[in-house]
Structure 1
Amino acid sequence: MSKANINIIYNGPGLTESTMDVNDLAPALLALGDLIDNANFVLNGVHDRTKVRVNASFKTGSFGIDFQVAHNYIHQALTLTKDIPASEIATYLGFSATSIMGLVQFFKFLKGRPIKKEEIIDDENIRIFVDERKITIERKVLDLYKNHKLRESLEKLIYKPLKSDDINEFAITNDPKKGFVTVESNESEWFKSSYKETELLSEKVSEKVLKVCNPSFTGGKWRMSTLDDTFKFYSSISDREFQKRVLSAKESFTAGDTLKVMLKTTELQDGNNIKQEYDIIEVKEHNIESDNKLAM
């Protein structure tokens, strides 16, 4: 079993007697449990493996809560991948006052702005573009950011208490000796989870070589796959010149043909689900594999 201690402090003019409105406190307490449970699901792939216990500590002008998070390794012997322990989950969530960019720090960097582009660096890291700025973060942090249930919990923990006239600062840490990560009331809007019914999360264009599984000769979506057939998907084709050649039978296709393309990948938040849409915006090369024509 792994454990992590988390200390939360709410500061503000209404907390001079170290008391806090139960309408602010109760949702925040429940939100932290949900936040850690959802983070555990995103990072470890399972639910119901964390326990959060509460101890209260008080100072004049603040309301402090100490949590102990217990993470039980009940599945570790059954998997080849080592679970991420509670202390690392806390760091990925941004509860560590270090140079590591966790989720809370990532929200503060975004300042409510949408991600414009993602650029994969390697298996562990990804570069994020926002307006004219860019930053490199671990992919696990981005995975946490894209989980809407987790974002709703973060809103209840940070945004809603800071909207109270009594509270003007939220502080959290998994090691008080290293300091606290803080969010001021004027930063609280950045932690709002409100979203449109379908919200654009990211959009990127990259050059790919794809295998044609099922072409469409009626202007519909094409069934495509990676060269090793590990990932198959449907993609629209917005390259009008290529579409004209296909519809006029100037392009013919055989089993195993490949296309070198510029592929636009759009990631959308649809309710609580993340979905990807694909569009081939330019066909650069068409490589014919054999003479076995696909039926038109």
Structure 2
Amino acid sequence: MCNIQKARIAYAGPALTDGEMDVRELAPALIAFAEFVSNAGKAIGCERNIKVMLNQDSLNKGSFDITFILNMSILEQAKLFVEGSKSTGLDDLMAILGYVANTGGTAVVIKSIFDLISTIGKKAMTKITKKSPDTSEIHLADGTKIEVNINTLKVFLDVGCRKSIEGVIRPLETAGIDSFEVRNPADKTDKKPVAAVKKSEAELFKAPPAKEITEELPEAQSQEMLVKLVTINFEQGKWKVTDGTNPAIWVTIADEAFLNQISNHEITFGSGDMLRIAYRHVQKLKNGVLSSEYIVDKVLEVRPAPKQIKLDFEYEE
């Protein structure tokens, strides 16, 4: 069995008067919308993957019928019957898209992600506080307080969701496309949007940078190795070396005494010279990207390249 919800999105403007849109703009935008649905589902804790389908007969004056399909097992169907459709995440997703009106008691609770981004605009956030199990309050630098649905907030703070939203809104940068709209999927003639983004607001939907998270992995013990010099960069302190087996690597020379000897011309180098070094292999994990650095703590020995030709016998001067 499948749990199904339908949505309708549209791009509007003079360029779409005849129902035409450049496929080079349309295809990436629709892919971005599908990615947004997937990312939003993960952000709000939907346990099942949501399949996004574009209906064959959906192209109508720049608007597109979208079907969300959630496949469920018999046990999941029984759980849905007992607990209600919200357990699937589709109802929450529809609210995030704007299909549930922004409501509240004495204050309006924003549920549409598009309304939330537009409302905050370029104002700086100072803090976020929890108001109830379902809502949080965003405090802005100008003193404004915005009450928001907790799932909408999760999507707002998610880097993947924000990047895919940026892709959905990108066609508004094109001349003749003036707005992105979420419309009523039940009536193709109803062009009144339930949520909309104007061309003038497109800049607000640029994805903000991800929070920088740097983790230094357990440091390896100091090791010794004999390496041959390949390239020397005195200014940056990075030297390219090879151990004869692996591809050449860049190392950072952290031996200040050795560097001072070079500055004072106490040590000189030539082609083919080798170094015996004590080094560490340091790895860092930043925003999910792994990087490595070889740090030379001590240059133990400089071995000049042989200057005498090879002889098949011993020779003493």
**Normalising to structure 2: TM-score of the pair?**
0.55
Paired residues for 1:68-217 under 5 Å:
68-74=67-73, 76=76, 83-91=87-95, 93-96=96-99, 98-100=101-103, 101=110, 102-131=112-141, 132-158=143-169, 160-175=170-185, 179-180=192-193, 181-195=195-209, 198=212
- The CA distance in 2 between the partners of 1:6 and 1:104, in whole Å, is 15
Aligned mates of 1:121, 1:193 — CA distance in 2: 26
Secondary structure of 1:69's aligned partner: strand
Give the length in aligned residue pairs. Answer: 198
What is the Cα deviation at residue 104 of structure 1? 1.1
Q: Secondary structure at the match of 2:146?
A: strand
Q: Any conservation in 2 of the 1:6–1:173 contact (CA below 8 Å)?
A: yes
**CA shift at 1:3, angstroms?**
1.5
Determine the C-alpha separation between the residues in 2 that align with 1:36 and 1:167: 23
2:51 maps to a residue whose letter is: T
Conserved? CA contact 1:43–1:84, under 8 Å: no
1:34 partner letter: E
| Cα gap change, 1:9 to 1:72, in 2 (>3 Å) | same
In 2 relative to 1, CA 195–272 (structure 1 residues): closer, same or farther, beyond 3 Å? farther
Structure 1 residue 185 displacement after superposition: 0.1
- Give the Cα separation in 2 of the matches to 1:169 and 1:51: 22
In structure 2, the CA distance between the partners of 1:31 and 1:185, relative to structure 1 (3 Å rule), is same
Deviation string, structure 1 residues 43-86 (Cα, Å, up to 9, x no partner): 23435333323342323xxx111111112234736899862342
Change (3 A) 1:112 1:67: same
Q: Deviations over 1:21-45 (max 9, x none)?
A: 1121011111111111111112234
8 Å contact 1:44–1:84 — kept in the other structure? Answer: no
Gaps of 5+ in 1: 200-269, 274-296
Question: Hey, what's the Cα distance between the residues in 1 that align with 2:124 and 2:52?
Answer: 33
- Which is greater in Rg? 2
Alpha-carbon distance between aligned partners in 2 of 1:53 and 1:46, rounded to the nearest angstrom: 22
Work out the percentage of aligned pairs sharing the same amino acid: 21
Alignment of 1:226-265 (within 5 A): none
SS at match of 2:26: helix
The alignment's C-alpha RMSD in Å is: 2.9
Letter aligned with residue 154 of structure 1: I
2:8 is the counterpart of 1:14? no
* CA pair 51-16 structure 1, distance change in 2 beyond 3 A: closer
Matched, 1:26 2:37: no
The whole-number CA distance in structure 2 between the counterparts of 1:42 and 1:272 is 17
Shift of 1:271: 4.3
CA distance in 1, matches of 2:123, 2:179: 22
Q: State the shift of 1:12 in Å.
A: 1.3
SS in 1 for 2:55: strand
Q: Larger % of strand: which? A: 1
- CA, structure 1 residues 194+119, in 2 after alignment: closer, same or farther (shift >3 Å)? closer
**Residues 79-135 of structure 1, C-alpha deviations (whole Å, 9 max, x = no match):** 9986234233121x2332622422111111111333211111122211111122001
Q: Normalising to structure 1: TM-score of the pair?
A: 0.59
Contact kept in structure 1, 2:39 and 2:160, CA below 8 Å: yes
Query: 5+ residue gaps in structure 2?
Result: 104-109, 214-285, 290-317
User: What does the per-residue CA deviation read over 1:230-282, in whole Å, with 9 as the maximum and x for residues that have no partner?
Assistant: xxxxxxxxxxxxxxxxxxxxxxxxxxxxxxxxxxxxxxxx7479xxxxxxxxx
Q: Is the 8 A contact 1:8 1:172 kept in 2?
A: yes
